[in-house]
Amino acid sequence: MIKYIAYCRRSIEQEEKQALSIEAQIAELKEFALKEKLDVVEFLTESKTAKVPGREVFGQLIKKIQQGEAQGILAWHPDRLARNSVDGGQIIYLLDTEKILDLKFPTFWFDSTPQGKFMLSIAFSQSKYYVDNLSENVKRGNRQKLRRGVYPSKAPIGYYNEPRLRTIEVDRQTATIVQKAFEMYGTGNCSMADIQRFFFKKGVRRKKNDKMLPMSQVQKLLSNTFYYGLMKYAGEFYEGIHKPLISKGLFDKVQQVQKQRGKPRKQAHNFPFLGLVRCGECGASVTAEEHFKFYPSTRGKVAYVYYHCTKRKIRQPCSQRYLNSVEFEKQLRELLAKINLPKRWAEKWLEKLDQEQKTEIGRVEENTTEINQKVQTVDQKLGRLLDVYLNQEVDLLSYQQKKSQLLEEKVGLKEKIAETLKNGNDWFEPMREFINVAAEAAKTARAENNNQELKLLVQKVGSNYTLLNRQLFCQFKKGFAEVFSFGGSCGAASDSLQNPIWWA
């Protein structure tokens, strides 16, 4: 009498959502074996896909058959046994060599004749067809998305996957952090590790353990063209319909900095505010210097940083003395902390700004028709290029090269459009930036260990930083100066906020 081994399998992957559960398969097979009076010596179960060869339990099954422990296999359907040509072929071969004498399926009739084997091989290849078709469908879905300009994968940091519309939208909270990271790195004053720490501090972390993003991920983020509008998928570039977070100009700058930074060079880590301040007495630049003090019994060697006038102006004698870095930083932070726009004001103004901009954009859009036509021409070229490629008149490499060339041209044109739009309402962006900076300044000034971020803020809100008699002064830039009506240099905070004349 033939001994059977029952084999039950269900993949945990998406593809077999409708397949019978392993428990159900066991129950069905037991009932079937009873009815057919089959001698089942063993039940083997496995929860792996049969798309690719290399299933462990399936391997045991074959081995047991080869060793003569059983001569028959019982399974729910041929597709439980094999969904790839290697495993299917193996079963057929075992039938040919009479190691397997019989196969039983409740859902498929088989007998070991040439016709039976032929039918079985068709059942196997049908299962293979199903799998192939499935991945083809996934690919097709992806291609359609790409054609629509939607990234068919998980949205990068700064965006999220909109589940209903199946688009990629800006995640306001993380988007500003990503923007700032690009800006900071673009200045050339930050290392990749600075950006890594910056992300961590702002709460952009690894999901699984709340730790810092790996350096490789930070690096990848800073070279991801997605952020200015081009998405790379499977080695090719596509134009996205998602809203860019940064300009191509900033992106290029960041790439350049990355390239330069690849070469090792000395870092002035302790002097983050170098090149920012001039001497209030003689006008020479203020530099920083490191000194060490030795405390034999307590702290050992301790470094102190001092900011002082370089006294380089020969004709201008200067009597200024140094200021230590702790005091320097404290004064700088105090200056910036005065910029404190209440949050609800900021929100109100941003809202109003959005409204005004919308009406303005409508007016300007009419002026961009010509560039839009150029964009259409590029689109047509892209279409023709695809045809030529599909007709195999050009090879893949030249196709890709030409394609990315055209896409870059298109991005350039689109930026031009954006610029034209901006020219019509060029005060919106600075205004928005101004409000955001003004609302965030005090918070940034009060945070700890954020010198790089602080420096960026320092450059944004003020100029003419001077050091006189160990006191730091500055001129707030337009807008900031008007809001606080400091009349040039900063003394005390004013309460003119309650009366923002400049808004009109």
SS3 1: coil
CA distance 87 to 96: 14
Minimum distance from residue 308 beta carbon to Zn ion (Å): 8
92 or 318, CB closer to Zn ion? 318
Minimum distance from residue 316 beta carbon to Zn ion (Å): 7
CA distance 458 to 447: 14
Minimum distance from residue 471 beta carbon to Zn ion (Å): 14
CA distance 486 to 494: 7
The residues that touch Zn ion, with contacts defined as CB under 5 A, are: 279, 281-282, 284, 309, 318, 320
144 or 310, CB closer to Zn ion? 310
- Phi/psi-derived region of residue 94, left when phi > 0, alpha when psi is between -120 and 50, beta in every other case: alpha
325 or 444, CB closer to Zn ion? 325
> Which residues are within 8 A (CB) of 152 and not within 5 positions of it... i.e. 6 or more apart?
141, 142, 145, 146, 233
Minimum distance from residue 469 beta carbon to Zn ion (Å): 11
Minimum distance from residue 320 beta carbon to Zn ion (Å): 5
Minimum distance from residue 324 beta carbon to Zn ion (Å): 17
70 or 282, CB closer to Zn ion? 282
282 or 437, CB closer to Zn ion? 282
Nearest to 199 by CA among 208, 189, 185: 185
229 or 280, CB closer to Zn ion? 280
SS3 352: helix
6 or 277, CB closer to Zn ion? 277
Whether residue 95 contacts residue 71, with contact meaning beta carbons closer than 8 Å, is answered with no
282 or 474, CB closer to Zn ion? 282
No. of H helices and E strands in the chain?
16, 14
Nearest to 408 by CA among 245, 211, 253, 228: 228
- Phi/psi-derived region of residue 70, left when phi > 0, alpha when psi is between -120 and 50, beta in every other case: beta
Nearest to 409 by CA among 372, 377, 378, 370: 378
CA distance 382 to 337: 52
Whether residue 20 contacts residue 92, with contact meaning beta carbons closer than 8 Å, is answered with no
Minimum distance from residue 273 beta carbon to Zn ion (Å): 17
153 or 469, CB closer to Zn ion? 469
Q: How many CB atoms lie within 10 A of CB 180?
A: 17
Nearest to 270 by CA among 186, 326, 192, 340: 326
Minimum distance from residue 467 beta carbon to Zn ion (Å): 8
Q: How many CB atoms lie within 10 A of CB 469?
A: 10
Whether residue 104 contacts residue 32, with contact meaning beta carbons closer than 8 Å, is answered with yes
Strand partners, 237: 232
Minimum distance from residue 284 beta carbon to Zn ion (Å): 5
Nearest to 443 by CA among 350, 344, 330, 341: 341
283 or 487, CB closer to Zn ion? 283
The two tokens of residue 349 are 């103004």
How far is CA 386 from each of CA 139, 233, 392, 397, 504, rounded to the nearest angstrom? 18, 16, 10, 13, 52
Minimum distance from residue 315 beta carbon to Zn ion (Å): 12
112 or 287, CB closer to Zn ion? 287
Minimum distance from residue 318 beta carbon to Zn ion (Å): 3
Minimum distance from residue 280 beta carbon to Zn ion (Å): 8
Q: How many CB atoms lie within 10 A of CB 176?
A: 16
Whether residue 320 contacts residue 280, with contact meaning beta carbons closer than 8 Å, is answered with yes
187 or 466, CB closer to Zn ion? 466
* Strand ranges for 23-147 from DSSP E: 39-46, 72-74, 102-104
Minimum distance from residue 309 beta carbon to Zn ion (Å): 3
SS3 174: helix
331 or 404, CB closer to Zn ion? 331
